[in-house]
Amino acid sequence: MTGRKSCALVTGATGKVGAALVERLAARGMTVHAMGRRRAALKELAAATGCIPAVADLADISAIEACLADIEPDVLVCNAGLGRAGSIAGESAAGIDAMLDVNLRSAMHLLRLVMPGMIARDRGHIVFIGSMAGHHSFAGHAAYHATKAGVAMLARQARIDLIGRRVRVSEISPGRIRTDMFAKALDLSGEEAEKRFFEGYEPLLPEDIADAVEYAIAAPERVNVGLIEIFPTMQVAGGMTMAKGGAASDGN
């Protein structure tokens, strides 16, 4: 990458995983643009890591376009994600649209904006932070599953679209991570979420996701790490669910 420092753009930068990614890429000597909605949190992250804040709501495509007007990312990390509890039958129109906007629609527009430059330079790396929910089914959260499955397919399709170019595409698909996502999705206090989802468990940590991303982007240029599925050792996907008398019971 002669003539300038490598440039990265990380979305969802003010969440715990996003902040860990920004910190890790900055530590690798990259110029990191950190995209998120919370201006104050981005300012704090910039002070801690030296990143460049990019304030944007991912539901606002014009805001994304404005942020990218003067950025030529060598690495794009589509990390932002939104989850909500409940089945599709009980979801609101606004809830469905919000997950589509943040989880999938914004990623497609980011690729639309970033891929032409990567193709012209014949280099780049696109990383999607997906979810086990995009590859494995469990009860509830239908819209979240659908959007994350869309992310998984988008990653595969982008790889196909980029054949013949030195532009790599990776999906990191984690299981349970110690973040505030459960608290937000289920409208729980931090203490309630801690007790329900983390107390007594051994979840992944944000730095584990940063490790996986670093592994993918640090691989030799001839190597494309397409998919990393990363689970806590004490978590598995699958198990049997059966319905008895109209009520579903978890077989795990």
Query: Angle CA(64)–CA(67)–CA(71) in degrees, nearest 5?
Result: 120
DSSP letter at 244 equals: E
How far apart are the C-alpha atoms of 74 and 80, rounded to whole Å?
18
Comparing C-alpha atoms, which of 203, 168, 138, 181 is closest to residue 77? Answer: 168
Q: Tell me the pairing of strands 7-10 and 31-36.
A: parallel
Q: Which residues pair with 175 in a beta bridge?
A: none
Nearest to 29 by CA among 54, 4, 53: 4
CB neighbours (10 Å) of residue 221?
9
Q: Which residues are within 8 A (CB) of 57 and not within 5 positions of it... i.e. 6 or more apart?
A: 37, 63
C-alpha of 103 from chain center = 8
Instruction: Using DSSP, state whether 90 is helix, strand or coil.
Output: helix
Query: Measured between alpha carbons, how far is residue 246 from residues 67, 90, 193, 243, 249 in Å?
Result: 50, 17, 28, 6, 10
Residue 144 bears catalytic tag: yes
Query: Which entry of 14, 20, 76, 144 is annotated as an active-site residue?
Result: 144
Contact 132, 138 (CB under 8 A): no
State the catalytic residues: 144
